[in-house]
A and B are shown apart, each in its own frame.
Chain A
Amino acid sequence: MELLAQLAPKTFWNAPNGSSELWVKIIIAFFIGIGFFIGMMNVPTQMRRPIVFTVTFVSGLFYFLFWIYPAPINKAPEDAPRNTLEAFSFWISDSQAVVADLTNIIASFLIGLGIYSLLRVHLGKIKKQQRDWQFSVVLIVSMLAMILFGYVDFYMRLDPANSKMAGSGYVGWTFWQFGRDLLFNGLLQNMDAGMFSIVAFYILSAAYRAFRARSIEATILLVTALVVMLSLMGLVEFYWAQGVDSAHLSNNFKLDNVARWLRGNVQTPAIRGIDFGVGIGLLAMGVRLWLNLEKTGSAS
Chain B
Amino acid sequence: MGQQYLDNGWISILITLTMVALVLFNILRAHGGKDLFIRRIAGLNAIDEAVGRATEMGRPVLMVPGLTDTTVNAKTMQAINIFAYVSRVAARFANPILVCCYNASTYTVAQEIIRDVYQQEGLGDRFDVDSVRFISDRQFAFAAGVAGLILREQAAATFFMGEFYAESLILAETANSVGAIQVASSTELTQTPFFIAACDYVLIGDEFYAASAFLTRQPVLVGSLIGQDWCKLLIACMIFCGVIFNSIQLSGGSHHTITEAWNEGKMDKLKPKPFGAGDTTVSRWLNPDPAKDTKIDRPKLPKDELPAKAPGGGN
> Measuring CB to CB, which residues of chain A are less than 8 angstroms from any residue of chain B?
2, 5-10, 14, 16-17, 66-68, 70-71, 73-82, 86, 93, 103-104, 106-107, 110-115, 117-118, 120-121, 124, 131-132, 135, 188, 191-192, 195-196, 198-199, 202-203, 205-207, 209-210, 271, 273-278, 280-289, 293-300
Contact = CB atoms under 8 A, between A and B. Distances in A.
A2 B308 CA distance: 13
Contacts of A283: 16, 19-20, 23, 231
B315 interface: yes
Chain A residues touching B, majority SS = helix
Contacts of A289: 74, 77
B90 interface: no
A267 B124 CA distance: 48
A287 B74 CA distance: 10
**4 cross-chain pairs, A with B, having the tightest CB-CB distances, nearest first:** A281-B209, A114-B104, A277-B206, A195-B140
A163 to B, nearest CB: 13
B74 A296 contact: no
A125 B3 CA distance: 57
B42 interface: no
Interface of B: 1-6, 13, 16, 19-20, 23-24, 27, 70-71, 74-75, 77-78, 80-81, 84-85, 88, 101, 103-105, 107-108, 113-114, 116-117, 120, 129-130, 132-134, 137-141, 143-144, 148, 152, 166-167, 169-170, 172-173, 176, 187, 189, 192, 194, 196-198, 204-206, 208-210, 215-218, 220-221, 224-225, 227-228, 231-232, 235, 294-296, 298-301, 305-308, 310-311, 314-315
Given A66-B1, A74-B294, A114-B107, A7 B307 contact: yes
A300 B216 contact: yes
Given A113-B108, A199-B166, 6 more contacts: A7-B315, A68-B13, A195-B141, A274-B205, A282-B74, A300-B217
A210 B16 CA distance: 38
A288 B235 CA distance: 21
Most chain B beta carbons < 10 A, residue from A68, A202, A203, A275 = A202
A210 B315 CA distance: 58
A5 B235 CA distance: 49
A293 B144 CA distance: 37
Nearest to A135: B148
Nearest to B3: A73
Contacts, number: 247
B171 to A, nearest CB: 10
Given A71-B1, A71-B4, A82-B298, A300 B169 contact: no
A281 B208 contact: yes
Contacts of B2: 71
Contacts of B192: 274
Nearest to B69: A107
A137 B32 CA distance: 58
A192 B173 contact: no
A299 to B, nearest CB: 6
Contacts of A202: 169-170, 173, 198
A8 B309 CA distance: 10
Contact of B75 (A16, A121, A191, A282): A282
B301 A195 contact: no
A298 B107 CA distance: 19
Most chain B beta carbons < 10 A, residue from A68, A114, A299 = A114
B197 A132 contact: no
Given A278-B187, A278-B205, A117 B107 contact: yes
A206 B80 CA distance: 27
Contacts of B194: 203, 206
B4 to A, nearest CB: 4
B298 A80 contact: yes
Given A191-B140, A295-B220, A80 B300 contact: yes
B146 to A, nearest CB: 11
B307 A114 contact: no
A61 to B, nearest CB: 14
B299 to A, nearest CB: 4
